[in-house]
Chain A
Amino acid sequence: MKKATILLLAFSAGFSIMCFQLLGGRMLAPYFGSSVYVWGSIITVFMLALSIGYLSGGKFSLYKPNLIRYGGIFVSAALTLLPTIFFSESIFEFVFQRIEDPRYGSLVASTLIFLVPSIIMGMIAPYSVRILTVSADSSGHTAGFLYFVSTMGSAIGTILTSFYLVLWLEVNQILWLTFSTLFIAGCLAWIVSSIDKNAAQPSVA
Chain B
Amino acid sequence: MKKILLMVLAASVTWTVNAKEIVKERSIYRNVVIVEEGDLRCMRFETRRRQITNQACMDMTDSNRLVFEYAHGALAAYAINPQPKRILVLGLGGGTLSNVLHELSPEAEIVNVDIDPVVVKLAKQYFDYREDERVTSEIKDGRVYVKRAMLKKEKFDWIILDAFNGDYIPEHLMTREFLTEVKSLLNEGGVLSANTFSNSLLYDYESVTYQNVFGKLHIFKAPTKGNRVIFACNCDFEKFPEFDQQLAQRVKKYGVDLAKVWSRISDRVDWNTDSQILTDQYSPANLLKQQN
Interface residues in chain A, defined as those with a beta carbon under 8 Å from any beta carbon in chain B? 26, 29-36, 96-97, 100, 102, 163, 166-167, 169-172
Contacts and interface: CB of A to CB of B under 8 A. Distances in A.
Contacts, number: 58
A166 B172 contact: no
Given A34-B172, A97-B151, A29 B281 contact: no
B177 A167 contact: no
Contacts of A170: 279, 281-282
Contact of B282 (A32, A34, A96, A171): A171
Task: Summarize A's interface: helix, strand, loop or mixed.
Answer: helix
Contacts of B28: 35-36
Interface in B73-121: 115
Question: Which of A34, A97, A100, A163 has its CB near the most chain B CB atoms (within 10 A)?
Answer: A34
26 contacts: A26-B280, A26-B283, A29-B171, A30-B143, A30-B147, A30-B172, A30-B175, A31-B144, A31-B147, A32-B141, A33-B140, A33-B142, A33-B143, A34-B141, A36-B28, A100-B148, A102-B140, A102-B144, A163-B287, A166-B284, A167-B284, A169-B282, A170-B281, A170-B282, A171-B280, A171-B282
**Residue from A29, A100, A102, A172 with most neighbouring chain B CB atoms (10 Å):** A29
A204 to B, nearest CB: 53
Given A96-B147, A97-B151, A166-B287, A33 B172 contact: yes
Contacts of A167: 284, 287-288
Contacts of A31: 143-144, 147
Given A102-B141, A102-B144, A167-B287, A30 B171 contact: no
Contacts of B171: 26, 29, 34
A126 to B, nearest CB: 35
Contacts of B281: 170-172
Contacts of A163: 287
Nearest to A29: B172
Interface of B: 28-29, 115, 140-144, 147-148, 151, 170-172, 175, 177-178, 279-284, 287-288
B29 A36 contact: yes
A29 B143 CA distance: 8
A96 B284 CA distance: 24
Most buried by A among B151, B178, B282: B282
A174 to B, nearest CB: 9
A169 B284 CA distance: 10
A87 to B, nearest CB: 15
B115 A33 contact: yes
B142 to A, nearest CB: 8
A179 B277 CA distance: 25
Q: Which 6 A-B pairs have the closest CB atoms?
A: A33-B141, A29-B172, A170-B281, A167-B284, A170-B282, A171-B281
